[in-house]
Amino acid sequence: MRQAEITIFIILANIILLILVSGIIIFIFQYRKRKILHEKEKALIEEKHKLDILHTQLQAQEQTMQFIGREIHDSVAQKLTLATIYTQKLEYENQFPAIADKLQRISSVINDSLEELRDLSRTLADNKMHETSLADLLFFECGRVNDTGVCKAVFESDFTREISVTVKSFLLRIAQEFMQNSLKHSEGDLITVQLYQTTDGLLLKAADNGKGFDSTNVQSRGIGLANMKRRVHLIGGLFNLQSEPGKGTQLQITIPEKNLASD
C-alpha cells in the first residue's frame, strides 16, 4: 500500500511540475508576444508621428512659397512695372537721344526680368500639388522631358484614386530625380514611367534604356539615390532599384494601401 502511495505521489508531483513548467513556458511565450506587439505598435506610432511632422512641414513650406509668390507679384513686380513705364516714357520723349539705345536695352532687360518674376510668382503661388492628380503631374513631367529633345519619355497609368499630398509630393520628386539622372548620365533615348493601382496599393515603375551602372557598388550611389530611399521609407513603401552596365536602370516603388490615405 505504501508503494502505491509513493507512486501516486510521484505521478502527482510530475503532473504538478509539468503544469508549472507549462505555465512558465506559456507565460514567457505570451510575454514575448505582447512585447513584440508593443514594439510593432510603438514603431507604427513613431512612423505616423514622422509622417504627421513631414506633412506639417510640407504645408508650412507650401504656405511660405505661396506667400513669397504673392509678395513678388504685389511688390517687386509692381516696382519693376513702374521702372519699365519710366524708361519707356524717357524713350518716347526722346529727351536724351545720346542714350536712346541704352534706354531701350534697359527697358528690354527690365521687361525680361518682369516676365521671369511673374512666372516665378505663378509657380510659387500655384496650388497644383493639391489640385492635380499624381498621374497628371507625372504626365506633365514626361512632357517636359520630351520638350528637351534629348530623350523620349512615355507615361502609362490606370491610377485614378486620391492620395495624400505627402505621398504625391514624394513620388513626384522621386520620379523627377530618376528622369533628371537619366537625362544627365544614362545616354539613353527612352524613359518609361508607369503608375498602377494594385490590390495592395500603388506601384510606380520607371526605367531607361541607357548605359546603366553597377548598382551594387556603393561608390556609384550618389546623394540622389539616398534621398529617393529616404522618401520611400518615410511613407512606408518598398524601394527597389536595379541597374547593370549596358542594361539600363529600372526603379520600382510600392506603397501599401494603408499609407495612401488622402489628407
> Do 145 and 236 share a structural domain?
yes
Order the strands of the 190-198 sheet from edge to edge: 152-157, 190-198, 201-208, 249-256, 238-243
My answer on whether 104 and 82 are in the same domain is yes
Interval 127-139 mean pLDDT? 83
32 within a domain of the structure (yes/no) = no
Dihedral in degrees, nearest 10, Cα atoms 92, 94, 98, 100: 0
> Domain range spanning residue 208?
131-259
Give the mean pLDDT of the chain.
81
* Number of compact structural domains in the chain: 2
Give the per-residue pLDDT at 223: 58
Residue 168 has pLDDT above 80, yes or no: yes
pLDDT of residue 30: 87
Q: At which of 111, 128, 145 does a domain end?
A: 128
Q: Do 196 and 202 form a contact (C-beta atoms < 8 A)? A: yes
Q: What is the mean pLDDT of residues 142-155?
A: 90
> How much is the pTM?
0.58
pLDDT tens digit string along 193-238? 999 999 889 999 999 999 988 877 645 455 578 888 888 988 889 9
- Stretch (H or E) spanning 257: none
